[in-house]
Every structure is written in C-alpha cells, then in structure tokens.
Amino acid sequence: DQQVKQNSPSLSVQEGRISILNCDYTNSMFDYFLWYKKYPAEGPTFLISISSIKDKNEDGRFTVFLNKSAKHLSLHIVPSQPGDSAVYFCASPTKGGATNKLIFGTGTLLAVQP
C-alpha cells in the first residue's frame, strides 16, 4: 500500500523556469509533510516542510503548497537552476513528528537544462 505517491518519475525544465513537483497521499491522518532532495552518492537532505494547519510554506526559491481536501501537495522551485537537478522525495511521518517513521514517495528526478 503506497501511502505517499509521486506519479511523475522524471521532470525536465529549462533554467530560469518554474519546476512543479507533485505528491499525493492516501492517509488522512498524515498531518506533516517534508520534501527531501537527493544527489547521487549522497543521502537525502531536508528541503522544506509544511504542517497540515497551513496551506503554503515558502523558503527562498522553494514553496510547498498543501491541498488537504485533495490530499495533494506540490513543491514549486522558482527560478530553477542547474544545481537543482536531483531526485526529490516527499515524505510524511506516520505519527507525531518528523523524527518518527517516515513514509517516502518513490521520488521524481528533476533535470534542469542550462
């Protein structure tokens, strides 16, 4: 049972344009969501998070939107840069906070073309 789904395995975007990465979840008990970025040969690094009491959280070029009724979240990167090329995972803790068991999506490979 895939509780967190990322249906786009890959995305290609031109440098300077917007990248939109999508994530859907099925468990209505999820109340906190995180995005991680992963470069080859490195571990995932935390990017941005959002609590279910909010519908938007912004940090520099990165914004995460949460639509609870649709059980959908998206990560917007504006403007996209070649260094953003990586695999992006959305994740949610099964209960409590992010220090608990995280359920990850399968990831989206973002390629930003110069």
Partner 1 sequence: DAGVTQSPTHLIKTRGQQVTLRCSPKSGHDTVSWYQQALGQGPQFIFQYYEEEERQRGNFPDRFSGHQFPNYSSELNVNALLLGDSALYLCASSRLDRVHGEAFFGQGTRLTVV
Comparing CB distances to partner 1, the nearer of 15 and 52 is 52
CA 66 to chain centre: 11
Do 76 and 62 touch, CB atoms closer than 8 A? Answer: yes
CB 80 → partner 1: shortest distance, Å? Answer: 22
Cα-Cα-Cα-Cα torsion 1, 44, 73, 75, nearest 10 degrees, comes to: -150
Interface residue with partner 1, options 34, 73, 75, 110 (CB under 8 A):
34
Site string for partner 1, 58-77 (x = CB under 8 A): --------------------
Cα-Cα-Cα-Cα torsion 32, 91, 68, 97, nearest 10 degrees, comes to: -10
Q: Is 112 in the site for partner 1 (CB under 8 A)?
A: no
Binding segment for partner 1 among 13-21, 63-71, 77-85, 100-108 (CB under 8 A)?
A: 100-108
Cα-Cα-Cα-Cα torsion 86, 6, 68, 29, nearest 10 degrees, comes to: -110
Q: Which residues bind to partner 1, rule: CB under 8 A? A: 4, 6, 9, 32, 34, 36, 41-46, 49, 51, 89, 91, 96-107
